[in-house]
């Protein structure tokens, strides 16, 4: 949102009366909340190239998020892409010191962040063999005044649906969960566990779904039994065997396996002997990560990839505060770009899930922000993932992880 735009706070009642709006129900979804999306016509925004600094800022958030999730859960999968999108929605409505802290956390201006995310998401494919689907929505209390420019930004850059509903009602829990289930393609069916508190004024929701087949399927007979030597002990597992693109340095050996179409890939980072996975993750930098993925060794490795599923729920509030975003979580927050009413971030929660098997990978994530009233070898190397490792589902154009994880067990 352009900070020089003249503010025009709108009462939601005015939007409701501006057109003939009915209770909207999505096919197969059954959402009954009143939708205002038709009253906000998206304007074309230039899907320019990703701005300088976006990869570095996004990777800084990705590493911090996975470290925090591992510290709390051990094995974990997170979606930095989903978190970044919802944070950007909030940042678009921030002002003053609040916006400055959010920009400093990523080292990226709000304008650059919005433009980069628009360019990034515009390349998401929707095909039978690989589909990346992202969606965003705003859920607004009926008597909230909302800045017109903020709603326009949500439409222009995020294609966000806007709903007016009683945030404290049980029906809103049902509606929001149905929206998440639809847009994660059934991977996450319950984002909200209970109605929002009485001081809730706005809910920002983001959903991301990834489904992809392998570019080169695993051959018949490539699934073999084996043992995964996990942090908590040995586990019986099934391993997928093949030969894949290899990368390594003195701390890590790894591989990349492409999904159909070649735009996305699965990458794994196996710590060198004597270095445990937590030590690797705690010292892995964006520079080392990008350097590994941009290697052109011209070599392949014999790989053993376990079949496994991962699910994680994490509170991202402490993570953002550790990155210097402090004011946004207090009653001193400045979100005047959203509303003339005093708002602050009450909580940020993400749920993510991922499944890897011989067919490919299926993953989903949903993130919510509650806005509250404030006031090199001679032989072919082997990368056998039979002990804890770090992994990512990567967009090959930027090398950024849509999903990022650490496996202590399978």
Q: Tally helices (H) and strands (E) across the chain.
A: 10, 18
Architecture category of domain 214-309+377-407 in CATH? Roll (2.30)
With contact defined as beta carbons under 8 Å apart, do 45 and 121 qualify?
Answer: no
73 CB burial (10 A radius; 0-12, 13-18, 19+): middle
Exposed e or buried b for every residue in 328-360, given b needs 16+ CB within 10 A? bbeeebbbbbbbebbbbbbbbbbbbbbbbbbeb
- 141 SS3 class: coil
* pLDDT for the residue numbered 328: 96
Distance, in Å, from the CA atom of 388 to the CA atom of 382, rounded to the nearest integer, reads: 15
Residues of the chain with pLDDT under 70: 1-40, 42, 44-48, 375-379
The HSE-up count of residue 395 (CA atoms within 13 Å, CB side) is 22
Structure tokens at 201: 């004024």
Residue of 63, 54, 76 lying closest to 401 (CA atoms): 63
Structure tokens at 270: 């196996």
The HSE-up count of residue 129 (CA atoms within 13 Å, CB side) is 12
Distance, in Å, from the CA atom of 366 to the CA atom of 28, rounded to the nearest integer, reads: 19
- 134 SS3 class: strand
Q: Scanning the structure block, which residue is given the tokens 């087949």?
A: 213
* pLDDT for the residue numbered 297: 74
Q: Scanning the structure block, which residue is given the tokens 């790894």?
A: 254
* pLDDT for the residue numbered 370: 95
Residues whose CB falls within 8 Å of the CB of residue 312, separated by 6 or more in sequence, listed in order: 69, 73, 75, 76, 77, 78, 350, 351, 352, 353
Structure tokens at 47: 């899907």
Question: Which residue spans within 249-288 are E strands per DSSP?
Answer: 252-258, 264-271
With contact defined as beta carbons under 8 Å apart, do 183 and 207 qualify?
Answer: yes
pLDDT digits (tens, 9 = 90+) for 243-300: 999 999 999 999 999 999 999 999 999 999 999 999 999 999 999 999 999 988 788 9
* pLDDT for the residue numbered 121: 87
With contact defined as beta carbons under 8 Å apart, do 195 and 170 qualify?
Answer: yes
* pLDDT for the residue numbered 25: 34
* pLDDT for the residue numbered 46: 67
* pLDDT for the residue numbered 22: 31
Q: What are phi and psi of 83, to 5 degrees?
A: -60, -45
With contact defined as beta carbons under 8 Å apart, do 210 and 126 qualify?
Answer: no
* pLDDT for the residue numbered 17: 40
Task: Output the CATH code of domain 9-212+311-373.
Answer: 3.30.497.10
> What is the residue extent of each domain of the chain?
9-212+311-373, 214-309+377-407
* Alpha-carbon 290 to chain mean position: 19
The pTM (predicted TM-score) of the whole model is: 0.90
């Amino acid at each position: 949102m352009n900070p020089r735009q003249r503010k025009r706070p709108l009462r939601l009642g005015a939007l409701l009366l501006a057109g003939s709006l009915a209770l909207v129900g999505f096919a197969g979804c059954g959402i009954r909340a009143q939708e205002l999306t038709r009253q906000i016509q998206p304007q074309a925004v230039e899907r320019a190239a990703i701005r300088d600094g976006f990869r570095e800022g996004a990777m800084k958030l990705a590493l911090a998020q996975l470290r925090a999730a591992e510290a709390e859960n051990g094995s974990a999968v997170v979606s930095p892409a989903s978190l970044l999108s919802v944070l950007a929605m909030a940042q678009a409505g921030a002002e003053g010191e609040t916006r400055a802290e959010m920009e400093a956390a990523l080292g990226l201006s709000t304008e650059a962040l919005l433009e980069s995310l628009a360019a990034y998401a515009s390349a998401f494919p929707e095909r039978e063999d690989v589909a990346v689907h992202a969606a965003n929505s705003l859920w607004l209390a009926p008597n909230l005044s909302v800045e017109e420019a903020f709603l326009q930004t949500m439409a222009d850059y995020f294609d966000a649906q806007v709903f007016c509903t009683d945030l404290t009602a049980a029906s809103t829990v049902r509606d929001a969960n149905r929206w998440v289930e639809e847009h994660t393609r059934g991977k996450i069916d319950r984002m909200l566990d209970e109605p929002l508190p009485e001081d809730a004024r706005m809910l920002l929701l983001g959903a991301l779904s990834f489904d992809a087949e392998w570019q080169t399927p695993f051959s018949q007979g490539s699934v073999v039994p084996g043992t995964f030597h996990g942090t908590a002990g040995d586990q019986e597992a099934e391993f997928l065997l093949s030969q894949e693109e290899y990368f390594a340095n003195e701390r890590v050996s790894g591989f990349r396996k492409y999904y159909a179409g070649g735009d996305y890939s699965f990458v794994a980072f196996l710590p060198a002997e004597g270095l445990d996975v937590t030590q690797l993750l705690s010292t892995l930098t964006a520079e080392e990560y990008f350097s590994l993925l941009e290697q052109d060794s011209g070599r392949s490795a014999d790989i053993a990839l376990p079949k496994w599923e991962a699910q994680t729920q994490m509170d991202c509030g402490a993570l953002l505060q550790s990155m210097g975003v402090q004011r946004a979580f207090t009653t001193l927050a400045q979100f005047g770009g959203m509303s003339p009413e005093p708002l602050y971030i009450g909580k940020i929660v993400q749920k993510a899930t991922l499944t890897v098997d011989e067919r490919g990978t299926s993953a989903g994530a949903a993130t919510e922000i509650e806005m509250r009233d404030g006031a090199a070898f001679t032989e072919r190397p082997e990368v056998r993932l039979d002990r804890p490792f770090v992994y990512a589902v990567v967009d090959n154009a930027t090398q950024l992880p849509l999903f990022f994880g650490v496996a202590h067990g399978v």
